[in-house]
Structure 1
Amino acid sequence: MVEVIRRLYARRLRAGLVDATLPRHVAMVMDGNRRWARQMGFDDPSVGHRYGAAHLHEVAGWCAELGIRQITLFVASVDNVRKRGSAEVAHLMRLVEEVIAEPLRRPGSPWRLHVAGRTDVLPDSTRHALKLAEDGTRDRAGGFDLTVAIGYDGRTEIADAVRRLLHREAEAGATLTDVADRITADAIGAHLYTGGRPAPDLVIRTSGERRMSGFLLWQAVHSELYFCDVYWPGFREVDFLRALRTYATRTHAVRPSPR
């Protein structure tokens, strides 16, 4: 009965979004995997990572059905890779390879994969699996783009972007004074890990945490933020639709009235 009521509620939410303004690009912080596993009674909280990785594909499907063609997902920060226990990191990286990268390469998936982050901090096998998935999906038609932020930190991204810009200018023979005189936000933005792709319209974070944790610090400056109390593996379609409803309400409220 509960499931029937939930499906009816989801249908009602979808109907309310028919004429609404939907985000073109949704970014998500997939937080709360370990806490969800504890909540569900698993002895090993790292089991939550497997459920969370698999859930990524379901959420991507909801986006595709609604015509949301750009998704960015925060999978692991630099600190997640460098500072957590070696066994947990190895488990997480295997999931990235087997549950994220490999399924995206299969025929039938509409998504082109992009990777954002310091891939040099990843194990060789994970870096290789992601590269194969990027190369294997690059020429897919349809215009659906999924960016995985892994080995990611927003401050490091900005520093790396400035460094790349300076190197490019130096190779062209520019002096530091020349660069300082003409440097712009657009010039830095073009050298971000996500350079060339649109900024997110909506950022969703699960687990009840109310902070960005270094995610898309540059790109999300004008994004709507939505914080959801459920943990990522338990993030339901109705939770996603509520986030879209809130986004539509906010964007409608700030839209200039016609003259």
Structure 2
Amino acid sequence: MAARSEKDTSPIPAHVAVIMDGNGRWAKQKGGLRIFGHQSAITAVRETVEAAAEAGVRFLTLYAFSTENWARPAHEVTALMQLLVHTIRQETPTLLKNSIRLQAIGQTESLPVSCQRELAEAMELTQAGSRMTLVLALSYSGRWDLTQASRRMATEVAAGRLQPDQITEQTMAGFLSTAGIPDPELLIRTSGEQRISNFLLWQLAYTELYITNLLWPDFRREHFQEALQAYQQRERRFGKTSEQLTVS
């Protein structure tokens, strides 16, 4: 991976999140089974990770499998889990080589034991990675994240370790699965769908959205770079006016 030029001073988001959508439609267009689309998406994942690291992104979160995806046909879910195990095993050496740390968020205990084992091993092997953190959202949903955070806070309140009037936005953020990870500044969604699909509901409050009609298996390094360029043209006001930003 090439390093980002030191002369390039345009803003790069510290955290980019990606909803990887369109594998099934891509496979259907090609006359193949849905799993063919998932298999073909590995190249898109690899190029996106490389492009993000080269650009200087510090955190890249990929929505790999939602809690709702468990409702898909059993044979597709099984094939997806097998593909996940194979991909993690295959890509770990590349993550190590490029100093990329792997993390996971979601109900990972619901994954097959083989997936949990490969995931845990890869996270342990790459824990010293300092160039970028790759976060896989697996069996994840934003509503689950908020629910589990609320339950944990309620437990702390019941135990007397936390007072209700001490609960702030920062408190909630600290109980979410993304604690310690900055909120995404940019969300990329492929396939043209204009929704966030129960992904990082709290964390996306002020995130810039970039939606492309490309189906995920066709997404490449240059498309990620186009998304970054679009982000760099945005004015992030966080409720303020343009004039206030100019003065500050």
Residue aligning to 2:50: 61
Matched-pair contact (CA < 8 Å) for 2:53–2:131: no
Unaligned ranges ≥5, structure 1: 1-13
- Residues in 2 aligned to 1:221 and 1:104: alpha-carbon distance in whole angstroms: 32
2:101–2:127 contact (8 Å) kept in structure 1: yes
Q: Contact 2:47–2:220 (CA<8 Å) still a contact in 1?
A: no
CA displacement 1:21-79 (0-9 Å, x = unmatched): 2211110000001111222x242221111121342121100111111121000001001
Aligned residue in 2 for 1:118? 107
Using structure 2 for the length normalisation, give the TM-score.
0.88
Partner Cα distance (1:191, 1:98) in 2: 31
Q: Distance in 1 between matches of 2:236 and 2:247?
A: 12
Equivalent position SS for 2:81: helix
1:168 maps to what in 2?
A: 156
Identity %: 36
Secondary structure of 1:214's counterpart equals coil
1:180 and 2:164 correspond? yes
- Runs of at least 4 residues off by over 6 Å: none
Q: Specify the SS of the correspondent of 1:115.
A: strand
- For each residue in 1:154-173, what CA deviation from the matched residue of structure 2 results, as whole angstroms up to 9, or x when unmatched? 011001011112223434x3
Q: Secondary structure at the match of 1:76?
A: strand
Determine the C-alpha separation between the residues in 2 that align with 1:105 and 1:192: 29
Cα distance in 1 for partners of 2:23, 2:193 equals 13
Amino acid at match of 1:150: L
Higher helix share: 1
| 2:27 corresponding residue in structure 1 | 37
Alpha-carbon distance change, 194 to 43 in structure 1, aligned in 2, over 3 angstroms: same
Cα distance in 2 for partners of 1:232, 1:112 equals 23
Mapping for residues 44-123 of structure 1, pairs under 5 Å: 44-80=33-69, 82-105=70-93, 107-123=96-112
Q: 3-state SS of the aligned residue for 1:46?
A: helix
The match for 1:221 among 205, 227, 233 is 205
Give RMSD over aligned pairs: 2.2
Q: Is the 8 A contact 1:38 1:45 kept in 2?
A: yes
| Matched letter for residue 222 of structure 1 | Y
Q: 1:120 Cα shift? A: 2.3
2:188 partner letter = I
Q: Within 2, Cα distance between the matches of 1:165 and 1:124?
A: 29
Letter in 1 for 2:219: F
Q: Distance in 2 between matches of 1:64 and 1:72?
A: 12
Gaps in structure 2 of 5+ consecutive residues: none
| 2-structure distance, mates of 1:66, 1:210 | 26
Is 1:154 the equivalent of 2:137?
Answer: no
Instruction: Give the whole-Å Cα distance in 1 for the aligned partners of 2:185 and 2:236.
Output: 13
Q: What's 2:14 paired with?
A: 24
- Tell me the matched-pair count: 238
Could you tell me the TM-score, scaled by structure 1's length? 0.84
Q: 1:199 aligns with which of 153, 160, 183?
A: 183
Which residue of 1 is the match for residue 234 of structure 2?
250
CA distance in 2 between counterparts of 1:105 and 1:128 reads: 16
